[in-house]
Structure 1
């Protein structure tokens, strides 16, 4: 059974000794803490650390980041995925620079109005940076709290989040940042999704699921809808200089990043004909194939090389298109799928 006073004491004593070293735990700067929280969404700590160092070295202040252009920001984000996070964060920082004299607001009401700030980010940044009494409820906390209370509520429902936040509120009246981080750390290190280390848990005596033998059944979360799969055709088109045609994405997904012209299979012949203002013969066999997984969909990509050398100038005036020399690939923001194709082309060229 959960005993509020001793539970919090046991948890914080464990956290003070066992917390992992992370660069964002060595600062109270809300800008840096905010950066870390945005990066950590959907991404593991060990992956984030190097990105965090590079990002904060290049953009050490709100002012520096607010003045940067989006392409450069995305370049420093490249490889972390979920690029809308970076775009939203960049926009939010520009709002901070313009409306709050470059200082991250310490008011939850003002902070949550900034672009991309949801309930979790608001609670995490406000509690860790300013010790405001807001409970964070992420995947780790859902799991820990469900097990501690032997609660079979569906964690995919907004009503469950609201209920958990209300139940956790008394625990963040003091040491909010420490408590929130301790709960998340417990979920990451001890109360793991599979094979939790219950025998080493500092709050085992408070855990109803442990006493009832239901730990492995929790948390309850309704399954998401099956991923959609899209067949994509990607085209390698070269000019007389041996440069490759690339296009800047206009769609919401991976917006602003560069790719070789790519279209859904069902419309690719029509689209590539329109692009080149010609009837183009697409080869029977692709030169490369790959699969790229997103959270909500999968791309099955077939890469075709258009044999004809293109010598036209009409695309040059369109900023959506550009000619790429492979040696300049690092000057552009490419998603992971395009990096694989670029690697294949470089290998192919070295063998020719």
Structure 2
């Protein structure tokens, strides 16, 4: 569904509520007891942000029926329970609503006690100061969650039913699971086109430099670069490689320059948020050395943009990403994530990530860095 602050707040509310209880299982204890009967079936509901879209993911991890000698534990039973959990949120229960609101408020307060989380929230609010619907980075506006009512929750659930939906599954008996899913998941959204091109949020030219001083012992530095143009899949891979090259491990450029040589950083990270047209570098460091660290970051990005690239380090960065890819291929959650992207993005199914990583060149990395423009510096001290 479209990313708005309202949609994200209510997606967080409904997701948390469904993990507590549903119409068929009216209390937390009853729902947990039912899941425990299914050999501790793990059920999680999570709103995920993909640029200007929200995906509400219902993920169930269960023991294969073929692995236990229990005639009542079948694919039919599993799918039936999941259909009830997913399609039947309890939006009529005022006690459940109030409990869920309190849980989210507690989660939010706990998150904001961490300076790194507070800093990233402030960073995105500045980055999207002219587009406030895109500024929320965690669970949506907490004030809107606190003010939610039974009527507003019901209205949101009704709208959810019409949103494009897709069901993906990994199971030993895939044919039987496919039949059961088609028989049980017939909501209107399944008939809608799930794939879309409408993900990217163009980076607005801002040139922000802001410092908030709260007397923290460790400063949080956020350096945001925008893209001049939208990236295709290959260029997004270049962004991943640049992230690894700059701050992937102890041999990376920023780790050695800021942490080892300057002695300033406790941690340095770089992330390529392709759908947000954002390349973000962040560090936790000594408050007195923020300006020096900023200068190092700007210089290292500039070095890449003018073609001064450590080829041995580039090779090592690519190898590290390939190893991560290789490990991920054996994990069901990684496989599901790739299947989701196949459903979401045009032509993604035909895209060979491993090949793209292998063939990233220094020249491609240089061109990627040239496409970046420095857009925001936020420091929390």
Given the two structures, how large is their TM-score scaled by the length of structure 1? 0.23
Q: Which has the higher contact order (CA 8 A, sep 6+)?
A: 2
Question: When you count strand as a share of all residues, which structure comes out higher?
Answer: 2
